[in-house]
Structure 1
Amino acid sequence: MSRTTKTLGILTTGLAFAAVLLAVTGASAQTTTSSEDWNKIVAAGKAEGKVVYYTAHVGNPLQKAILQAFTTRYGIAVESLEARASELRERTRVEQAAGRFIADVSFTSDGQAAVIDKEDGVFARHALTPNAKDVRAPFKANDLFAPSMILNYGVLINTSLVKPQDEPKSWADLADPKWKGRILSDDTRAIGGGYLWFYTTMFLGLGEKYQQAMAAQEPVFTRDQREAGRRVARGEFAMFIPFIFPDVNNLKGLPVKVLPMAEGAPYVLYGAVLMRNAPRPNAALLLIDFMMSEEAQLIWARGGHGFVRNGIEEKVPAELRAYANPKLLGTTDWRRQDEGLAAAKRLYK
């Protein structure tokens, strides 16, 4: 089935606000906003003057810096609500069901966006904004999801317990018997970093025999990733898997180091989606577009996060490039989530 485009006109203080939206009728469209329409959206967004932003990426100062940069660029204030992904999902579901339309933009992972779109129907489709054309492969903006940032994962080691000559170079190296009982791991049996590592190494990399070998290593599971780094720093464990590269900045001065692995980094792609019935749709589209801009991408990349835009790597400090642009192993597929979790529970008792 085809999609059609329509103009949403909202009259306020004598100004006609236009946001180019796509009717949700079938397969994904790649309609791009015209220059004329975009100029109208910019003017209308500035007149709206505010955007409400829900984010599951809690406590990240780089995100706050990007929102401030957006306000500086457009003069549009951002009201931000940070909460767990599950809490935000329930909040938006209840708000939409009650006809209380508060949020304009949601920042979440691509997998979560797909699930929520399919099951809850709280997101709106829209034409591609100008910065979408500069998103680099293998990432791509579509009429639902605009990529913004990548969380890349490696291995955190205690440098007092793991000598340079013993540092693991690959995920396969972790199956060496010398690491038995010395690995702290995010729980593979629940959605999170541990499951991401399990899924990518199981289905996209090293297979079931590797996972059997890793289970024999008797890793200790945790669901507190923030405390996990400090437990490694204190010497309770030799290493923690998987570890978000830029989070090592929270452990400065401690005897730890984060390592990329030869097979590549498991990753989570984050981005922005437009809320259905957004009260300020034009300001929302401006923010969605800005998060793919060079200015926003450099904030992410210079903080050690992965970037999604072409032409960024050479502008990132050399010492951060291994974190911001590592070889990628892959990410999870929400359509195989039940299969993946069942396999993790079977292999890790």
Structure 2
Amino acid sequence: MSGGKLSPKFLTASVLVSITYLVRPGAPPVVAASLVSSLQVAAVAPSQESERQREARLVEGAKKEGKLMFWTGGTAKDWQYVFSKFRQKYMFLTTDYWRATDADLYQKITTEARAGQYNVDVSGADVEYLQQLKNAGLMKKYNWPNTAGWSPQYKDREGYWIAHHVLCLVPAYNTNLVSAAEAPKSWDDLLDPKWNKAISMDKDGGDWVLMLWSAWGKEKTVKYLKQLARNNLVFGEGAGARTQMLAAGAVKIDVRLNLHQILEYQKKNAPLDWVRTDPILSRPGPLFIAQHAPHPNAAALFGDWFSSLEGQQTYYEASGKLVPDPKVKSHLSEALKGLKISVLPAELTVRGNEAGAIWRDIFWK
């Protein structure tokens, strides 16, 4: 017995003990035998359901529902491509989706729930909202049958969510302004005084503090940030805009950019390279099935398909981001080969306010 689940053998043994109380004294043996047989089938049948049987059951239910409601904070074109591939396989389903910021998604889900309204089947969520959604009973505990080979960092250990992508964040530099010889090679290299006023960063670095905290612990993180602050960072907004500024030569280095975007710029011969830090910081992009999904079979069907190799490959093709399935080979996974990746755990995000305060106290006072 493990993970809080009862094995078929344990269930059968429990059933046999219960028979003493269910079958009247003196009943014919065939009665007891029949009852035991029926209860054994009920206990064992779920574990014996094949992948094909499972899909057939979900398809039958989803056909009656006819729709999948999906809410996301991701890029519209990425999900349009994903849904087009999903509908090619399950043409009987229509997919409606609502796109908003992660904060608005959380607000809409929780506000509607308080009013007793449940309109979403599958939703994205920022990692900082997961604990609150889970505590509110708005996330379905699901077995995600295709994720057995995934790293535990990329899924909730109780099954409440999976990562639909992993956002890797790295320091990067302009190769026209920084030679390979003098380029930083580690986190400590960024502390060199020669980078004074040469490093840019997002003005809101609370989540970055949490990622460092997850990798190093709070004490080392605070010490490092105080040393980094001596280099008088230049602050901007948005990783996309700062990547453009770095490529244009407005600054020499940026300490927190999206790796998949750097690789895309490199394909276009932009003068950018990135630092292979130990570890590489990252955060998951969670996806969950709603506890009160109005179309539960369609939701499960999408969850199973999306977490399959086909679904994972589709999302990588659409977004270019790192996906959790190690069987998906990509330019990004090759670039990260041999490097340690530290993933921000959802449990640590409850310290988000404290992390934000640390950032402001060090860099904005």
Q: TM-score scaled by structure 1? A: 0.79
Q: Which has the larger radius of gyration?
A: 2
Q: Which moved more, 1:181-190 or 1:35-44?
A: 35-44
More strand by share: 1
In structure 1, how many angstroms separate the alpha carbons of the residues matched to 2:132 and 2:219? 24
Listed one character per residue, the Cα deviations across residues 235-256 of structure 1 (whole Å, up to 9, x for unaligned) are 1111222111112366464633
SS at match of 1:212: helix
Q: How many residues are matched?
A: 314
Give the direction of change, closer, same or farther, for the CA distance of 1:105–1:326 in structure 2 (3 Å limit).
farther
For 1:25, the equivalent position in structure 2 comes to none
| Residue equivalent to 1:330 | 343
Return the alpha-carbon distance in structure 1 between the equivalents of residues 211 and 182 of structure 2: 21
* Cα offset, 1:184, TM superposition: 0.7
The alpha-carbon distance between structure 1 residues 197 and 236, as it changes in their structure 2 partners (threshold 3 A), is: farther
Q: 2:278 aligns with which of 258, 263, 268?
A: 263
**One-letter identity of the residue aligned with 1:278:** A
State, as a whole percentage, how many aligned pairs show the same letter. 20
Gaps of 5+ in 1: 5-30
Q: Distance in 2 between matches of 1:227 and 1:241?
A: 14
After TM superposition, give the deviation of residue 106 of structure 1 in Å.
Answer: 0.6
After TM superposition, which residue ranges in structure 1, 4 or more long, deviate above 6 angstroms?
Answer: none
Does the CA contact (< 8 Å) of 1:245 and 1:304 recur in 2?
no
Q: 1:116 to 1:32 in 2, by over 3 A?
A: farther
Describe how 1:1-349 pairs up with structure 2 within 5 A: 34-35=49-50, 36-59=53-76, 61-75=77-91, 76-118=93-135, 121=136, 123-141=138-156, 142-191=158-207, 194-200=208-214, 203=217, 207-248=221-262, 251=265, 253=268, 255-301=270-316, 304-312=320-328, 315-317=329-331, 321-323=334-336, 326-331=339-344, 333-349=348-364
Is the Cα contact below 8 Å between 2:133 and 2:139 reproduced in 1?
A: no
Q: Where does the alignment leave 5 or more consecutive residues of structure 2 unmatched?
A: 7-45
- What's the TM-score, normalizing by structure 2? 0.76
TM-fit CA distance, 1:260: 4.2
Alpha-carbon distance, 1:42 to partner: 2.6
Amino acid aligned to 1:123 = L
Contact 1:58 / 1:83 at 8 angstroms: preserved in 2? no
The residue identity in structure 2 corresponding to 1:257 is L
How far the C-alpha of 1:100 sits from its partner, in A, is 3.1
Contact 2:170-2:255 within 8 A present in 1 as well: yes
**Secondary structure of the residue that 1:133 maps to in structure 2?**
coil
**How far, CA to CA, are the matches of 2:358 and 2:206 in structure 1?**
11
CA distance in 1, matches of 2:306, 2:174: 35
Q: Distance in 1 between matches of 2:170 and 2:47?
A: 36
Tell me by how many angstroms 1:228 deviates. Answer: 1.0
2:181 counterpart SS class: helix
Residue 325 of structure 1: how far off its partner (Å):
8.1
Cα distance change of structure 1 residues 62 and 134 upon mapping to structure 2, 3 Å threshold: farther
